[in-house]
Amino acid sequence: MTTRDRTESPARETGAGAGLDARLVVDRGSFRLDVALTAAPGDVVALLGPNGAGKTTALRALAGLVPLDGGHLRLDGTPLDRTPPEGRPVGVVFQDYLLFPHLTALDNVAFGPRCQGLAKADARERAAEWLDRMGLAAHAGARPRRLSGGQAQRVALARALATRPRLLLLDEPLAALDARTRLEVRAQLRRHLAGFEAVAVLVTHDPLDAMVLADRLVVVEGGRVVQEGAPADIARRPRTDYIAQLVGLNLYRGRAEGHTVRLDEGPSVTITEELSGPVFVAFPPSAVTLHRERPTGSSARNLWQCEVAGLETHGDRIRADLTGDLPLAADLTTAAAAELDLFPGAKVWGSVKAVQTHAYPA
Amino acid sequence: MTPEERTAAPPAPRKRSPRAGTWAVGGRGVPLPLLLPALLGLAFLLVPLLALLVRAPWSGLPEQLTSAGVWQALRLSLICATAATAVSLVIGVPLAWVLARVEFPGRGLVRALVTLPLVLPPVVGGVALLMALGRNGIVGRWLDSWFGVTLPFTTAGVVLAEAFVAMPFLVISVEGTLRAADRRFEEAAATLGASRFTAFRRVTLPLIAPGIAAGAVLAWARALGEFGATITFAGNFPGRTQTMPLAVYLALQSDPEAAIALSLVLLTVSVAVLAGLRDRWMTAS
């Protein structure tokens, strides 16, 4: 899987060590992080995973805030394993930004250039340019507490970029924002990341942020990489329950023989692909049709008896959680739900057409 | 806010329960076994101060306070307490940083030792200082023979004695503030290329400034009232080592009215410090 993804973007192979090449091993007794990350200059990589998966630890290890217990870290060919954080060409946008409260926005951004040895006036000039680029020239003199969430996020980004890092790290860059601001800031951030010429790694548990902002996703669960690839590919072919849930698919694992997949737990599924060996089968909840009586003359080849475990509204639709032959999520319209008289405990039949399933080798 | 702080603030509106005045809080009476000792405690703390005011020789006060001796002692006290606070800041703040930020074996023991002067009788501190920095002390011997520096029974000795007793107040206050401060600001500074010292100077120090100010005020007040270590290590020479507390004690034996006048001056300074603390520190944290 990993090797194939790498060959898919030839840029990563060129440039003899340009970009990021890391294997991050951090041992915390009960928790062990072991994640390999590579990226070419210009790449935006998202580390996606549930809480406690080790994403933030990986980010802190890249920044040098957590020492590596093993593996290696090279940036543009230079080993950084033993370099303290202040010596790494790395910029970090922290989750709650951590803007220095006693400094103005301008001085926050000028802080990095000052530490790099620029004279005060030069550092401020560079900071002013960055704030201008972020559309914040009018707020240069404001203290962080006077800034809105979106403004603070942009100041934090400007502060990280003003040191001209070769690796930009963003920890849940949109998590601290409310839903409205989020939409706007996400679009801006996407623009800034697209214009960033070095490697950017962002950590998020929000699949939408990951898919909008990143060219490549690395899914981390329990301290390990479970899947990586282009966002569209991962959305189409999830390989773990966590990702399947994130992208809203029913996902099963089984053994294929021709057009039939014998699932590891439960019945068989008829598919359109012709496969053999271990496979994943996925289909969206909207592909599931529910019936109170066993349907006759239905063209669907996949039919299972189920029991409704729970119902919840999902946008303008109803999401039914089903147990029985096959644990299943089904989406139906409010009208259909009313017509079927669904309630927790109700016995139903669920059917899925073979053409709506998608199977791929495991 | 505790009731004490409230009463210490003259203009603050009195926030008491609606039934205040009936000695009932929240509709329930205060039990006598608690109320009586509480009132006794309050009286115990306030009556002596009241007595000082009552017995003050108000008519002769201007004369007492303008005498050269008083001003000399007051001036020396203020200078020495300020110098002792400065010494404490210069070496106490870094010490607090090391205790709060550097993990080393025996850190708990070192922290306990640093706070020892808080509970040590000041006279013992003075004797200890003599053993260390006196002419024949383990360090003072070398200071004397190498640099010709003698510390005991000099104004510099007063500063050292006061700093010895006052610095733990500053260290404890600053260390507490450092522990409570968000260390991630220092991490953010590091990712921006700041060395640990730059991060301390440009980020940590401004963030913990209120804690340092509070600690400095406490240390200053403690230094101003220092008696035991000072008289043991620096003696009691008017104009050189005789600070206000020493002058008060000496005056009490020959001229009680002068002692009262001097005490009033110290009381005024203390109240001013308390008022300053209340505004800058107690409400802030």
Rounded Cα–Cα distance for residues A81 and A349 (Å): 57
Say yes or no: A325 and A230 in one domain: no
Residue B235 has pLDDT above 70, yes or no: yes
Rounded Cα–Cα distance for residues B49 and B263 (Å): 10
Whether A245 is covered by a domain: the verdict is no
Whether B48 is covered by a domain: the verdict is no
The length of chain A, given as a count of residues:
362
Residue B18 has pLDDT above 80, yes or no: no
- Residue for token digits 């502060």? A159
User: Which of A98, A100, A112 is closest, CB to CB, to B193?
Assistant: A112
Rounded Cα–Cα distance for residues B175 and B107 (Å): 13
Whether A302 is covered by a domain: the verdict is yes
SS3 at position A72: strand
Q: Cβ contacts (< 8 Å) between B212 and chain A: which residues?
A: none
Instruction: Tell me whether strands A167-171 and A90-93 are parallel, antiparallel or unpaired.
Output: parallel
Residue B11 has pLDDT above 70, yes or no: no
Any A CB within 8 A of B181 CB: no
Beta strands in chain B (DSSP E): 24-25, 28-29
Contact partners, residue B51, CB within 8 Å, separation at least 6 = none
Q: What is the dihedral of CA B90, B91, B94, B95, to 10 degrees?
A: -160
Whether A242 is covered by a domain: the verdict is no
Amino acid at A362: A
Whether A244 is covered by a domain: the verdict is no
Query: What is the distance in angstroms between the Cα of B115 and the nearest Cα belonging to chain A?
Result: 31
Say yes or no: A64 and A200 in one domain: yes
Whether B222 is covered by a domain: the verdict is yes
Please tell me the predicted confidence (pLDDT) of residue B23: 54
Say yes or no: A27 and A154 in one domain: yes
User: Which of B182, B192, B207 is closest, CB to CB, to A115?
Assistant: B192
Please tell me the predicted confidence (pLDDT) of residue B12: 44
pLDDT grade, residue B88 (50/70/90)? very high
pLDDT grade, residue A85 (50/70/90)? very high
A211-244 pLDDT tens trace: 889 999 999 999 999 999 998 888 888 888 888 8
For the record, the structure tokens of A328 come out as 């299943």
- Give the residue-averaged pLDDT of A35-49: 93
Instruction: Tell me whether strands A268-283 and A358-361 are parallel, antiparallel or unpaired.
Output: antiparallel
Query: What is the distance in angstroms between the Cα of B192 and the nearest Cα belonging to chain A?
Result: 5
- Mean pLDDT for chain B overall: 85
Q: Which of A185-189, B124-128, B191-195 is the least confident region? A: A185-189
DSSP letter (8 states) at residue A323: E
Q: Which of A3-17, A58-72, A105-119, A205-219 is the least confident region? A: A3-17
Say yes or no: A226 and A291 in one domain: no
A 76-115: CB under 8 A from B: 84-88, 90-92, 94, 98, 100-102, 111-112, 115
Q: Which of B21-25, B26-30, B74-78, B179-183 is the least confident region? A: B21-25
- Give the residue-averaged pLDDT of B94-113: 93
Task: CATH number of the domain at A165, please.
Answer: 3.40.50.300
The pTM (predicted TM-score) of the whole model is 0.77
- Residue for token digits 């928790």? A31
Whether B161 is covered by a domain: the verdict is yes
Residue A259 has pLDDT above 60, yes or no: yes
Q: In this predicted complex, what is the ipTM? A: 0.78
For the record, the structure tokens of A178 come out as 């409310």
Say yes or no: A129 and A265 in one domain: no
Percent of chain A predicted with pLDDT > 90: 45
pLDDT grade, residue A141 (50/70/90)? very high
Say yes or no: A297 and A321 in one domain: yes
Task: CATH number of the domain at B192, please.
Answer: 1.10.3720.10
Amino acid at B87: V
Helix or strand (DSSP H, E) at B210: helix B209-224
For the record, the structure tokens of B149 come out as 């520096």
> How many structural domains are present in chain B?
1
Q: How many helices (H) and strands (E) does chain A have?
A: 10, 18
- Give the residue-averaged pLDDT of A252-259: 88
Say yes or no: A58 and A202 in one domain: yes
User: Which of A92, A102, A116 is closest, CB to CB, to B191?
Assistant: A92
Whether B54 is covered by a domain: the verdict is no
Cross-chain residue pair B192–A159, CB shorter than 8 Å: yes
Please tell me the predicted confidence (pLDDT) of residue B24: 55
Containing domain of residue B144, as a range? Answer: 62-282
- Give the residue-averaged pLDDT of B66-83: 88
Rounded Cα–Cα distance for residues A153 and A170 (Å): 11
- Give the residue-averaged pLDDT of A14-34: 85
Residue A105 has pLDDT above 50, yes or no: yes
Instruction: Tell me whether strands B24-25 and B28-29 are parallel, antiparallel or unpaired.
Output: antiparallel
Whether A314 is covered by a domain: the verdict is yes
Task: CATH number of the domain at A283, please.
Answer: 2.40.50.100
Rounded Cα–Cα distance for residues B280 and B285 (Å): 9
Whether B157 is covered by a domain: the verdict is yes
Please tell me the predicted confidence (pLDDT) of residue A128: 95
Please tell me the predicted confidence (pLDDT) of residue A7: 39
Whether B56 is covered by a domain: the verdict is no
A70-84 pLDDT tens trace: 999 999 999 998 899
Please tell me the predicted confidence (pLDDT) of residue A299: 62
Best of B185, B192, B208 to substitute, by most chain A Cβ atoms within 10 angstroms, is B192
Backbone angles phi, psi at A239, to 5 degrees: -120, -5
Backbone angles phi, psi at B243, to 5 degrees: -85, 175
Backbone angles phi, psi at A78, to 5 degrees: -95, 125
Whether A127 is covered by a domain: the verdict is yes
Say yes or no: A221 and A270 in one domain: no
> ∠ CA(A236), CA(A239), CA(A245), 5° rounding?
75
DSSP per residue, A329-360: EEEEEHHHHHHHT--TT-EEEEEE-GGG-EEE
Residue B280 has pLDDT above 90, yes or no: no
Whether A13 is covered by a domain: the verdict is yes
Half-sphere exposure of A168 (CA within 13 A, CB side): 29
Say yes or no: A192 and A299 in one domain: no
> How many structural domains are present in chain A?
2
Please tell me the predicted confidence (pLDDT) of residue B62: 83
Whether B269 is covered by a domain: the verdict is yes
Beta bridge partners of B29: B24
A285-298 pLDDT tens trace: 888 988 888 887 66
Say yes or no: A136 and A112 in one domain: yes
Contact partners, residue A195, CB within 8 Å, separation at least 6 = none
Identify the domain boundary among A215, A237, A259.
Answer: A237
Please tell me the predicted confidence (pLDDT) of residue B281: 53
Strand A268-283: give its sheet, edge to edge. Answer: A250-263, A268-283, A358-361
Whether B15 is covered by a domain: the verdict is no
Say yes or no: A287 and A350 in one domain: yes
- Mean pLDDT for chain A overall: 88
Say yes or no: A211 and A258 in one domain: no
Containing domain of residue A266, as a range? Answer: 250-361
Of the two residues B71 and B89, the one the predictor is more confident about is B89
DSSP letter (8 states) at residue B105: T
Helix or strand (DSSP H, E) at A75: strand A70-75
